[in-house]
């Protein structure tokens, strides 16, 4: 698949079929993740591949709790109707965990270590594009409390859960999602 086609045709998938995804396919998606750029090529990511139903149920329960918290905190009533069943439906969830020590120069700057998170985000985008190129749907999911997810996945406190990536065959083609014209977001200093 042409890269530009993959970039524009990838969509977030929130309804998955229960068909399993072969570990070799997940391996290819993680290989794509590992080719993401990172500060000083520190590769500050780790991947936890979750297919265990009980673990997925724990993640779902945490996301439900976090959704309730977010509803109250934000006052966004629409959020209570946001269905997150895909966390138990998706055959695979990959947790992307970052290492704040494997960051770049930014650790000496005012805002502290952030570049490792940017690198993990680049790895996630590679995963989404690779999944799409392999005919799979995916979702970048972040509605969780970091401490709670650490406890569920046995991640040490010095590491940061960045994202959960749900992967599987789409149950139905995801709806198109428009983009604003990039010209309105671009300034040229010629």
Ligand X SMILES: Cc1cc2nc3c(=O)[nH]c(=O)nc-3n(C[C@H](O)[C@H](O)[C@H](O)COP(=O)(O)O)c2cc1C
What is the contact surface with ligand X in residues (CB under 6 A)? 11-12, 14, 139-143, 177
Tell me the closest approach of the beta carbon of residue 26 to ligand X, in angstroms. Answer: 20
Tell me the closest approach of the beta carbon of residue 124 to ligand X, in angstroms. Answer: 8
Nearer to ligand X, 108 or 140 (CB): 140
Tell me the closest approach of the beta carbon of residue 8 to ligand X, in angstroms. Answer: 9
Give the separation between CA 118 and CA 48, rounded to whole angstroms: 18
* Token pair listed for 122: 């680049």
Q: How many CB atoms lie within 10 A of CB 175?
A: 8
Nearer to ligand X, 109 or 142 (CB): 142
Nearer to ligand X, 35 or 82 (CB): 82
Q: How would you class 85 by CB atoms within 10 Å of its CB: exposed for 0-12, middle for 13-18, buried for 19 or more?
A: exposed
Nearer to ligand X, 28 or 67 (CB): 67
Closest residue by Cα to residue 12 from 178, 182, 175: 175
Residue 107 contacts by C-beta under 8 Å, 6 or more apart in sequence? 100, 113
Nearer to ligand X, 139 or 153 (CB): 139
Contact 79, 73 (CB under 8 A): no
Tell me the closest approach of the beta carbon of residue 10 to ligand X, in angstroms. Answer: 7
Tell me the closest approach of the beta carbon of residue 25 to ligand X, in angstroms. Answer: 20
DSSP symbol at 97: E
* Number of Cα atoms under 13 Å in the Cβ half of residue 177: 9
């Amino acid at each position: 698949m042409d890269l530009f086609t993959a970039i524009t045709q990838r969509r977030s998938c929130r309804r998955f079929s229960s068909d399993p995804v072969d570990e070799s396919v997940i391996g290819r998606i993680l290989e794509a993740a590992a080719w993401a750029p990172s500060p000083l090529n520190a590769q500050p990511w780790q991947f936890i591949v979750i297919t265990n139903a009980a673990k997925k149920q724990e993640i779902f329960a945490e996301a439900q709790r976090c959704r309730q918290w977010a509803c109250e905190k934000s006052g966004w009533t629409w959020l209570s109707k946001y269905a997150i069943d895909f966390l138990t439906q998706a055959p695979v969830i990959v947790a992307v965990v970052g290492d704040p020590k494997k960051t770049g120069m930014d650790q000496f700057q005012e805002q502290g270590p952030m570049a490792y998170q940017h690198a993990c985000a680049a790895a996630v985008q590679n995963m989404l594009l690779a999944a799409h190129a392999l005919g799979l749907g995916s979702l970048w999911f972040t509605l969780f409390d970091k401490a709670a997810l650490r406890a569920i996945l046995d991640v040490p406190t010095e590491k940061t859960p960045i994202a959960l990536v749900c992967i599987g065959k789409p149950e139905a083609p995801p709806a198109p999602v428009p983009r604003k014209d990039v010209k309105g977001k671009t300034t040229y200093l010629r």
